[in-house]
Amino acid sequence: MTRASSSSKKERSGWGSLFGGCLRGGGAAGSRKVRPRPSTKHGGGGGGAGAEASAAQRLSFTDVMSTASEQELSVSLVGSNLHVFTVGELKAATQGFLDGNFLGEGGFGPVYKGNVADKAKPGLKAQPIAVKLWDPEGAQGHKEWLSEVIFLGQLRHPNLVKLIGYCCEDEHRLLVYEYMAKGSLENHLFKKFPPMLSWSTRLNIAVGAAKGLVFLHDAEKPVIYRDFKTSNILLDPEYKAKLSDFGLAKDGPEGDDTHVSTRVMGTHGYAAPEYILTGHLTTKSDVYSFGVVLLEILSGRRAVDRTRPSREQHLVEYMRSWLKDPQKLSRVMDPALEGQYSATAAHKAAIVAYRCLSGSPKNRPDMCQVVEDLEPLLNITDSEPVAYVALNNVTKKERTARRRDNEREAGNHRQSKARSPQKTIRRRPGQSEEFWVWHMPGQVKA
The pLDDT tens digits for 206-222 are 999 999 999 999 987 88
Would you say residue 406 lies in a domain? no
Lowest mean pLDDT: which of 28-42, 49-63, 161-175, 180-194?
Answer: 28-42
Would you say residue 381 lies in a domain? yes
Residues known to be catalytic = 227
In tens, the pLDDT along 166-183 reads 888 888 888 999 999 999
Considering the domain architecture, whether residues 202 and 174 belong to the same structural domain is answered as: no
Considering the domain architecture, whether residues 43 and 160 belong to the same structural domain is answered as: yes
Considering the domain architecture, whether residues 303 and 340 belong to the same structural domain is answered as: yes
- Structural domain of residue 126, as residue ranges? 8-178
Considering the domain architecture, whether residues 393 and 264 belong to the same structural domain is answered as: yes
* Stretch 140-152: mean pLDDT: 73
Considering the domain architecture, whether residues 212 and 276 belong to the same structural domain is answered as: yes
Total domains in the fold of the chain:
2
Considering the domain architecture, whether residues 247 and 377 belong to the same structural domain is answered as: yes
Which CATH number do you get for residue 94? 3.30.200.20
Domain end residue (candidates: 374, 397, 420): 397
Considering the domain architecture, whether residues 241 and 302 belong to the same structural domain is answered as: yes
Give 405's pLDDT tier (boundaries 50, 70, 90).
low
According to DSSP, the β-strands at 163-169 and 172-178 are: antiparallel
Measured CA distances, 180 to 107, 177, 193, 232, 357 (Å): 19, 9, 15, 12, 29
Would you say residue 108 lies in a domain? yes
Residues contacting 379, CB < 8 A, separation 6+: none
Which CATH number do you get for residue 239? 1.10.510.10
According to DSSP, the β-strands at 83-84 and 163-169 are: parallel
| 376 has a pLDDT exceeding 90 | yes
Helix (H, G, I), strand (E, B) or coil at 135: coil
Considering the domain architecture, whether residues 264 and 368 belong to the same structural domain is answered as: yes
CB 265 within 8 A of CB 229: no
Considering the domain architecture, whether residues 131 and 220 belong to the same structural domain is answered as: no
Would you say residue 426 lies in a domain? no
Considering the domain architecture, whether residues 174 and 220 belong to the same structural domain is answered as: no
Higher pLDDT, 440 or 329: 329
Considering the domain architecture, whether residues 133 and 190 belong to the same structural domain is answered as: no
Which helix (H) or strand (E) is 16 found in, with range? Answer: helix 15-19
Q: What's the confidence (pLDDT) of residue 153?
A: 81
Alpha helices in 161-256 (DSSP H): 185-190, 199-217
Considering the domain architecture, whether residues 288 and 367 belong to the same structural domain is answered as: yes
Domain end residue (candidates: 150, 178, 206): 178
Which bin fits 195, alpha (ψ -120 to 50), beta or left (φ > 0)? beta
Q: Please provide the average confidence, as pLDDT, over all residues in the chain.
A: 75
Residues contacting 118, CB < 8 A, separation 6+: 125, 126
Would you say residue 437 lies in a domain? no
Would you say residue 402 lies in a domain? no
Which helix (H) or strand (E) is 369 found in, with range? Answer: helix 367-374
